[in-house]
Structure 1
Amino acid sequence: MENNSAFNLMEEPVIFGLTFIALVPVFALVYCVIGEQDFIGNPTGFVDFFYFSAVTATTLGYGDVSPKTELARSLVSLEVLLGVVCAGLFLNACSYRLSARSAAEEKARNEVLLRRERYEVNKETLSSHHAVVMFRLDRYAIRLWLLTNTPDKKGDYSLDKTIGLNGIVAHDFQFRDFRFLHTETLLARDAFQASIVSYYFKDLRLFVDSLRDLLKFSRLNDWPKLRNDCLNFLHAFEHLDYSESIMKFEQMSKKEGGALGCMIFSQIESAPEVVPEVKGSHMLDSYVCLYYLAKKSVEFCREYLETVDDILVSSCPE
């Protein structure tokens, strides 16, 4: 540490500049001490010796004042050598400072270029995975639309109306709107007698898997909000996914001739308009968790699309 500090001091041009300047008055005082009898040209007083010292240190050598004795010549020779060495070290330190500054600026430019290039590569990777996520999200949104709309309110599906995009308010579904979740989807592409909720869970899992792939293969360090939003939704999915119990209720209802399904239908339909609560060990708890999961998914899908759209048109921050 001490050696490095000393080496760094040797790279300071101001040290050698001040040392070179200090040589002039210091040697002028020395010349005053040895006396004018050791010099040719009759120098008298500090001003004359200061002039002679400055001429000597800068190697101008006008010759109007010159050393006469061996002592004076030795001192003058020493001042010349010290002056030349200090001047050389001063110029070397200046050169080092300029080259170091130039190297630092070049390094900074290269880092900016590399950061921009890395940002664009990461954005392209995100765009590729987003295409898959977007496909799964749209399929999931269709199932969400079917799940949260009663037959008399379905209307025409649109992604904007389902999750609230482009200034359109998202569909504000209630818990009682889930009462038809065990009925058939009535979509021509779906299997006969397959329920709305079964297809909902199927496309939800595919959507969640695409988000996991996005987190796994896309470098989201430049976009922490997107990464955190995805992680929070996956965390909510893990805690609110009661698909096994809901599908078990459906299978039991089919075996019992639909009696259990009618009871679930009746309890959901008679539920109050206030936000339902998980009561614990209650048949409707799984459906209440499904309600909260659906609400969470609407919020996440909207924020996800808005965030990704902003990212894809953004440039690397400086």
Structure 2
Amino acid sequence: MIENLIEQKPKFYGWAYIVFVIAYFVIYLSFQCALGLPESWVDSAYLSLMTITTLGFGDITPTTDIGKIVVSSQAFFGVMILGLFLNSLSHERSKSLSETEKKIEQDRKEELRKSLEMHSCLLLDVFKSANPFAWDKHAKYSASMDELEDFCRSTYSTINTLKNEVGPLHTKMLLETVHQNYDTLLSLTPVAAEISSEYLVVWSSLLSNVRNLKQQYEKSLEAVKEGGSIDWPTNNDISQQVQELIQASLFISKREQIPNKSSKKNA
């Protein structure tokens, strides 16, 4: 009860202050003789205002003991309500500032998240398009997850099947883009850490798979045949990395991740 009383909005105490002014005015006016006060409604109103504000000019004073007690009680309640009002006002101000700061921090983290999303989408965009000139594409020009989500979900489930639409050129472009952008992706680790520990774990997982793809790319370049051709990794070689890259990208883009088949069987 007491906690509820001291945790009200400022306007509650403002109205309480006014109610006390009116209530004591009525008391002074109704019991003037018993309280030893002048018989005038103007004097009663004046005394109520002067007492609750603790100005107390002393030009009107009660002449009976009960009058002194009643007038003193109004001064006490007036100071208490004023204190609660100021405390509530300060609390509301602090709460408003805290919410503003929280909103600013949320907006900042959302911008950081979008930068991670943009770079993860770049890899998927190049992988999807198989454009031989897209390996050096800037991340800000990559397709959004809205445009890539269907491809991601389809590729995740079909990359190791006859239904898959991913060919050697897709693989080549993904590996070249990974190789080109690896240092940039690595430099974004502190960004993920600033968002949350969960984003750091997911980004670290993405980097691990990207690092594996980069190593496969470098290995393929080292094993150039005499005729100058390169044996790019097969879908089986990169399927796990691609699937985990898709899962990480869906998480970073705040999309529902694809259920793990083993989890379904266990369920």
Q: TM-score, normalised by structure 1?
A: 0.44
CA contact (8 A) 1:137 1:207 kept: no
Residue 20 of structure 1: aligned partner = 17
In structure 2, the CA distance between the partners of 1:204 and 1:38, relative to structure 1 (3 Å rule), is: closer
Residue 65 of structure 1 aligns to a residue in which SS?
Answer: coil
2:64 corresponds to 1:60: no
Q: CA RMSD in A?
A: 4.0
What is the CA deviation profile of residues 176-207 of structure 1, one whole-angstrom value per residue up to 9, with x for unaligned ones? xxxxxxxxxxxx7679xxxxxxx9xx866678
Q: After TM superposition, give the deviation of residue 140 of structure 1 in Å.
A: 3.3
Taking every aligned residue pair, what percent have the same amino acid on both sides?
21
2:73 corresponds to 1:78: yes
1:96 aligns with one of 91, 94, 119: 91
Write the distance in 2 (CA, Å) between the matches of 1:29 and 1:9.
26
Matched AA of 2:249: S
CA contact (8 A) 2:50 2:57 kept: yes
Residue 62 of structure 1 aligns to a residue in which SS?
Answer: coil
Write the distance in 2 (CA, Å) between the matches of 1:137 and 1:18.
70
Residue 52 of structure 1 aligns to a residue in which SS?
Answer: helix
Q: After TM superposition, give the deviation of residue 111 of structure 1 in Å.
A: 1.2
Matched AA of 2:246: L
In structure 2, the CA distance between the partners of 1:9 and 1:62, relative to structure 1 (3 Å rule), is: closer
In structure 2, the CA distance between the partners of 1:72 and 1:49, relative to structure 1 (3 Å rule), is: same
Residue 251 of structure 1: aligned partner = none
Write the distance in 2 (CA, Å) between the matches of 1:76 and 1:9.
24
In structure 2, the CA distance between the partners of 1:114 and 1:75, relative to structure 1 (3 Å rule), is: same
What is the CA deviation profile of residues 216-260 of structure 1, one whole-angstrom value per residue up to 9, with x for unaligned ones? 4434552759x89xx9xxxxxxxxxxxxxxxxxxxxxxxxxxxxx
1:50 aligns with one of 45, 65, 73: 45
Matched AA of 1:45: S
What is the CA deviation profile of residues 80-114 of structure 1, one whole-angstrom value per residue up to 9, with x for unaligned ones? 00000001001111111110111111111111112
Write the distance in 2 (CA, Å) between the matches of 1:210 and 1:135.
18
2:116 aligns with one of 112, 121, 124: 121
Matched AA of 1:119: K
Q: Which has the larger radius of gyration?
A: 1
- Structure 2 unaligned runs (5+)? 133-165, 171-226, 260-267
How many residues are matched?
A: 171
Write the distance in 1 (CA, Å) between the matches of 2:34 and 2:235.
105
